[in-house]
Amino acid sequence: MYRYTRSYTGPVQAVILDLAGTCVDFGSLAPIQAFLKLFESEGLSLSEAEAREPMGTEKREHIRQLLVMPRVRQQWLERFDLAPTDDDIERLYQAFVPFQLQSIVQRSELIPGALKLQEFARAHGIKLGVNTGYSREMVDVMLSELIRQGFEPESVVCATEVPMGRPAPYMSFCNAIELGVTAVQGCVKVDDTATGIEEGLNAGMWTVAVVASGNAVGLSREQFDRLEDAARAERLALAHSKMALSGAHYLIDSIAELPEVLACIQDRIEAGDCP
């Protein structure tokens, strides 16, 4: 026998944001700078495009995915004569951490719109959480900078603190529990990577992909603003096309546009729509 269950029609309860490229570090450059320095220190060549491909994953997993890329793997074999092992990945991760901490300090400026989003959320009773592929050690460095700028999320979850990182839904679930969410249909996951969007979809949440400030464009705010109008439009169009493949419910250029999207999602929830 089938039992009819009424759709959730309550309020948007929580917004769960990624960090780098979504609410801080325009262009998501801190991880890229750290990975490039790491591989350079090992005598290996790594392009920025290669470094960005696994973005959104926990950093040990990121390193593992880099090492299975054909060009990178071939370099490794030529240099070390053996395939990389779990011990190699752990050694690389430990070497990566200082590079990442240094980059985070340099790239902790809030993306324009983050504080207004926080004001909007508080005014509408929406809880605000963040999750990330960073470890707690890395996040603590970044959070102190964010708090100094006035941004104070109510829940912070790291990939190293759950059974599996993205695209598994566990970080978002953990955020939802910490924020006191009673229905995942009332949650919105916001991310600049396809892996992060997949996390939100796997959690049964509404998803919003951030394009201009994130991994898909991959430029600092200064670099982005210096582009000629035609070049900027072309770059954005390509990035939108790429992020559309993630299956996100909405695509926006930056979180400055998120309050309007949240209002739209609220209307859809009240009309009986589900993620």
Q: What is the CATH number of the domain that holds 64?
A: 1.10.150.240
Burial class (CB in 10 A: 0-12, 13-18, 19+), 1: exposed
Pair (95, 186) in one structural domain: no
Give yes or no for a contact between 61 and 163, defined as CB atoms under 8 angstroms apart: no
d(CA 188, CA 210): 13
Beta bridge partners of 127: 14
Secondary structure (3-state) at 113: coil
Give yes or no for a contact between 16 and 184, defined as CB atoms under 8 angstroms apart: no
Pair (71, 199) in one structural domain: no
How many domains does one find in the chain? 2
Q: Where are the alpha helices (DSSP H) in the chain?
A: 30-41, 48-52, 59-67, 70-80, 86-106, 114-123, 136-148, 170-178, 194-202, 221-226, 229-244, 258-270
- CA angle in degrees (0–180, nearest 5) for 16-20-23: 55
Pair (46, 164) in one structural domain: no
Pair (44, 174) in one structural domain: no
In a domain, 117, yes or no: yes
pLDDT tens, the chain, 275 aa long: 444 456 899 999 999 999 999 999 999 999 999 999 999 999 999 999 999 999 999 999 999 999 999 999 999 999 999 999 999 999 999 999 999 999 999 999 999 999 999 999 999 999 999 999 999 999 999 999 999 999 999 999 999 999 999 999 999 999 999 999 999 999 999 999 999 999 999 999 999 999 999 999 999 999 999 999 999 999 999 999 999 999 999 999 999 999 999 999 999 999 999 99
d(CA 56, CA 16): 14
Sheet containing 155-158: order of strands: 155-158, 127-132, 14-17, 187-191, 206-210, 250-252
Q: What is the maximum span of the chain, computed from C-alpha positions, in angstroms?
A: 64
Pair (89, 187) in one structural domain: no
Phi, psi of 16 (to 5 degrees): -115, 115
Pair (88, 163) in one structural domain: no
Look at residues 106, 126, 142 and tell me which one is the last residue of a structural domain: 106
d(CA 184, CA 162): 18
Which residue reads 């779990």 in tokens?
86
pTM of the prediction? 0.92
In a domain, 5, yes or no: no
**Would you state the pLDDT for residue 152?**
97
**Would you state the pLDDT for residue 1?**
41
**Would you state the pLDDT for residue 7?**
85
Pair (159, 247) in one structural domain: yes
**Would you state the pLDDT for residue 3?**
47
Secondary structure (3-state) at 31: helix
Which is catalytic among the residues 59, 127, 191, 192?
A: 59
Which is catalytic among the residues 18, 25, 191, 192?
A: 18
Q: Find the domain containing 102 and state its range.
A: 30-106
**Catalytic residue check, 127:** no
In a domain, 150, yes or no: yes
Burial class (CB in 10 A: 0-12, 13-18, 19+), 215: buried
CATH number at residue 259: 3.40.50.1000
Pair (21, 93) in one structural domain: no
**Catalytic residue check, 18:** yes
Look at residues 106, 126, 148 and tell me which one is the last residue of a structural domain: 106
Q: List the one residue out of 172, 161, 167 whose CA is nearest residue 134.
A: 161
